[in-house]
Amino acid sequence: MISEVLQKAINGQITAEMWSANLYLSMAFYLERQGFTGMAHWMKKQWEEENGHACQLAGYVISRGGKATVDKIDVVPVDFGSPLEVFEQVYKHECRVSGMIDALLDVAVAQKDKATQAFLWGFVEEQTEEEATASGIVDKLKIAGTSGLLQIDAQLGQR
């Protein structure tokens, strides 16, 4: 059985993951409107992934006898600047999420809940990947400049 404290903290993370999903969907629409259909495709995959994280967290809470909830999701930005600026925001956002997962793990440690700690380590690893992927795209966009944008757009469309 999961503690009330942990249940509340994980439900908070479910809301955060759903906000992330909306952020990426908003970025997808923004990029699609500008003709970057490959980048928009990448963002939609990201959107799916974040929804998946929310469901994984909910499934875990339920498997431990807790109650998973869907809370109010705050509005997300709608304008993001150049493709490079969009992906810089992705990187910054993923670093923030890493901090949230770390804080969540701290709660599980404080609650002495080993199962939740084990479960959350998977998310810690996932965040390392997310950060590396986003910063890798930022690097590529910097190297490519404006002239290489369509090539990167095509690459990201392969995701």
Dist CA 77 CA 53 (whole Å): 21
Task: Establish if 53 lies at the interface with Mg ion (CB under 5 A).
Answer: yes
Of 7 and 46, which has the nearer Cβ to Mg ion? 46
Task: Establish if 44 lies at the interface with Mg ion (CB under 5 A).
Answer: no
CA 66 to chain centre: 23
Task: Establish if 25 lies at the interface with Mg ion (CB under 5 A).
Answer: no
Question: Closest Cα partner for 13 from 80, 137, 89, 107?
Answer: 107
| End-to-end CA gap in the chain | 38
Task: Establish if 18 lies at the interface with Mg ion (CB under 5 A).
Answer: no
Cβ of residue 62: shortest distance to Mg ion, in angstroms?
19
Of 119 and 149, which has the nearer Cβ to Mg ion? 119
Cβ of residue 43: shortest distance to Mg ion, in angstroms?
14
Cβ of residue 96: shortest distance to Mg ion, in angstroms?
11
Cβ of residue 63: shortest distance to Mg ion, in angstroms?
19
* DSSP structure class, residue 82: S
Sign of the four-CA dihedral 21, 102, 70, 62: positive
What are the residues binding Mg ion (CB under 5 A)? 50, 53
